[in-house]
Amino acid sequence: MGELIDTAARGCLSKMAISPGKTGEAADYALCLDETRLPLNARLGQPLRLSWTGAIACTNCGRATKKSFAQGHCYPCFKRLASCDTCIMKPETCHFFAGTCREPEWGERHCFQPHVVYLANSSGLKVGITRRTQVPTRWLDQGAIQALPIIEVDTRQQSGFVEMLFKEEVSDRTNWRAMLKGDVESMDLVAERDRLLAKLEGGLSGLRERFGADAIRVLDDAPRHLDYPVLEFPRKIVSHNFDKVAEVEGTLMGLKGQYLILDTGVINLRKFTGYEIQVA
Ligand SMILES: [Zn+2]
């Protein structure tokens, strides 16, 4: 049986599959290697070893690549795919409207659908955007302990403009060290939402004039609490990196965001998407 599991636990990494726990329960994690999903919560407190074989396969075309671009792509795919273009990170610079979208059909499917602007608490207050369908995955991937959708729009570009506005008042970044140390105070996201909506009223009116009165819709959602399976948070953050040391080994102490927390250090698995890994 042991042999069977070992064979199954070799493959190319994709980001961990995280599902929200039921109320009061921690999120459920699985390590994803090709088609194999290894449940991780049950391995908390146990030794875990991940070894990189030295191979990287492009998550789009499957070709071998020496280096990974934009989280698991070969260079040609990185230059060709709309999902790897700069406007994904900066939606307000959407190429579709300029007629320069790399893949207009993909853009129509991906960017012309409801997006939400949310407030989250990952290492303090932050603003972010995501497709409606990516809630709550996006928050779990970021290690947010609280999140609240505040505005809904019809396109990714519009969500970019709303986020730009909120960035005048709130960061869009997570301090991942603070997030992993677990020293994040709970906050009143509803009060923060109301404060920001009042403060940014002028800017929001401007966007409504530009995109239509119904384009920028304020939501009245309830805040979401998210819990993570962590036995013990690290006091000091040391990072593992397959590019420097191919063997990552330690006792699994926790899972938060896309990080494994081992007693020997932490590792952001998303950074190593496409890396061929042997797990033991
Ligand atoms: Zn490729």
pLDDT tens string 112-127: 999 999 999 999 999 9
pLDDT tens per residue across span 186-216? 999 999 999 999 999 999 999 999 999 999 9
pLDDT tens per residue across span 15-71? 999 999 887 899 999 999 999 999 999 999 999 999 999 999 999 999 999 999 999
Ligand 1 midpoint to CA 87 (Å)? 19
Share of the chain above pLDDT 70, in %: 97
Domain closes at, from 198, 225, 252: 225
Ligand 1 midpoint to CA 15 (Å)? 17
pLDDT band for 7, please (50, 70, 90 cuts).
very low
Residue 1 pLDDT: 39
86, part of any domain: no
61 with 10, same domain: the answer is: yes
Ligand 1 midpoint to CA 69 (Å)? 9
Phi, psi of 169 (to 5 degrees): -115, -25
HSE of 269, CA atoms in CB hemisphere, 13 A: 27
60-67, long-range: CB within 8 Å, 24+ apart, which pairs? Answer: 65/274
Ligand 1 midpoint to CA 212 (Å)? 39
Q: What is the count of structural domains for the chain?
A: 2
Q: Is the confidence at residue 4, as pLDDT, over 50?
A: no
Residue 222 pLDDT: 95
59 with 129, same domain: the answer is: no
Q: Is the confidence at residue 3, as pLDDT, over 90?
A: no
Q: Which residues of 168-204 are buried (b: 16+ CB within 10 A; e: fewer)?
A: eebeeebebeebbebebeeeebeebbeebeeebeebb
The parent domain of residue 32 ranges over: 2-65+232-279
Ligand 1 midpoint to CA 72 (Å)? 9
Ligand 1 midpoint to CA 240 (Å)? 26
Fill in the DSSP letter of residue 227.
-
